[in-house]
Structures are given as structure tokens and as C-alpha cells.
Amino acid sequence: MADTRLCGQCGSVFEPRREHSRFCSSVCRIKWVREHSAGPAAPADALAWSIAAMAEAADRLAQAAGQDLLRVGAVMSEAVWWVTIVDATMVRYEGDAYDSVLDGLPGEEARLIEETLAGLRYVRNQVGIHLDPAEFIRSAPDGTWTWNPLPEPCLESLSPRGKEWEMSRYRAYQSRLAGHDVAAAIALTSAFLTKTAWAEPPASPADVTILDNSL
């Protein structure tokens, strides 16, 4: 997918490795975080809080077997919300740790995680706007919950690039989520994001100086 954008720090053109990438390099990302993280609501605090909320939502979803559709739909929707928020925050602020954890996994496992996350982004984008939470899930005979296969979305209001991203999320949903266990997708991605969050301490100003000198 040919796609270029402007670095949010230095303004140069780069090819994003991930959908949410905003910086051309880790140097620019760390500089940006340093300049924007002063004050009481530092990203690290917000991230730790979001990870706790994500883990709690994943726990509740894991206990959803046998509960009613509307309730499980609401719990699923909340879990997806937290996973996608933590994921976008990790990519934005901890892109190096994110990539190095993914790169350290066997290829098939890394692909499964990336595509499951893409499928969950599709759920987040569609839920409550085009589809009700309950339309995404169905109860299996044993009382557990699986993702419903969904028809192709109508994306006429999106730009060509936006359409392409959303279609790739839709395809990820169909191949990695549809027919599979709801709680398992949340558990897989939540475990990956938690592991990544603790993989490296947040960048300190000292790290930035070292990186700057190496340029």
C-alpha cells in the first residue's frame, strides 16, 4: 500500500510502517513526546491507567460465557475500546518497543496479533455507528461467544486512502475474528500490549541527548 505522510515533528515526508505512525524516526517521536509530556497528565500515567482498564475489561469478557447478548455486547464493546486506545497510544509513544516485541515473535504469531488488532479497529470504527455491539457476536452451543461474519461495509463517505485502510481492517476482521472466540481475541491483544508496555522504560531526556549526538 503506497502511502506517505509528513512527520509530526520535523515535517519531512516518510512512509509509515503503521497506520498510526506520525513520525519519520524514533528521534522525532522521542523529541515530540518530550516536548508534549510536561504537566500532570503525562502519557505514561494515562497509559498505565488505560492498561489497567483494558485488563479489567478483558477479565470481564473472559467470564461472559452464558450471559445475555446485550450485556456481553456492551462488555465486548468496552474491551475493544480499551484495546484500540492502548494500541494507538503504544504505537504513538512506544513505537520502538512495539516493533521490537513484534519482531521478536515467530512470523505467524506476529501476523495473528497485528491482524487481530486491525480487526478490532474495524469493530471500534463500526460499533455504535453502523452496527450495534450485539450484531458482532453470537453465542456458541457451549455458551461461549464468537465473532459474527459481517457483510462488506459501505465506505462511500471515505477518501480513497481511508477506504483502503478500512477495507484492510474489514478483511482482517473476516479472516482473524469471524468465527473465532471473542474473549480469546481480546486476551491475545491485551497480553501483547501489556507485555510491550513493560518491555522498555519510557524514553528519558538523557536518551534523547544520546540519540541526537548519534545523528
Q: Is 7 in the site for Zn ion (CB under 5 A)?
A: yes
Stretch touching Zn ion by CB under 5 A, among 5-13, 58-66, 132-140, 162-170: 5-13
CB of 212 to Zn ion, least distance (A): 13
Given the complex with Zn ion, which of 7 and 183 has the nearer CB atom?
7
Q: How many residues bind Zn ion (CB under 5 A)?
A: 5
CA 138 and chain centroid, separation:
23
Stretch touching Zn ion by CB under 5 A, among 1-9, 64-72, 78-86, 125-133: 1-9
Q: Is 196 in the site for Zn ion (CB under 5 A)?
A: no
Give dist(CA 169, CA 174) in Å, integer: 9
Give dist(CA 188, CA 90) in Å, integer: 16
Q: Is 21 in the site for Zn ion (CB under 5 A)?
A: no
Q: Is 33 in the site for Zn ion (CB under 5 A)?
A: no
Q: Is 116 in the site for Zn ion (CB under 5 A)?
A: no
Q: Which of 24, 54, 72, 150 binds Zn ion (CB under 5 A)?
A: 24
Per the listing, cell 462488555 goes with: 75
Stretch touching Zn ion by CB under 5 A, among 10-18, 41-49, 151-159, 180-188: 10-18
Give dist(CA 201, CA 209) in Å, integer: 16
Q: Is 10 in the site for Zn ion (CB under 5 A)?
A: yes
Q: Is 28 in the site for Zn ion (CB under 5 A)?
A: yes
Q: Which of 9, 77, 84, 126 binds Zn ion (CB under 5 A)?
A: 9
Nearby residues of 61 by Cβ (< 8 Å), 6 or more positions away: 72, 75, 76, 79, 182, 183, 186
Tell me if residue 157 falls in helix, strand or coil. Answer: coil
Given the complex with Zn ion, which of 7 and 86 has the nearer CB atom?
7
Tell me if residue 13 falls in helix, strand or coil. Answer: strand
In angstroms and rounded to an integer, the radius of gyration of the C-alpha atoms of the chain is 18
Q: Spell out the alpha helix ranges (H) of 10-155.
A: 26-36, 43-62, 69-93, 95-103, 107-126
CB of 192 to Zn ion, least distance (A): 27
Which residues are near Zn ion by CB under 5 A? Answer: 7, 9-10, 24, 28
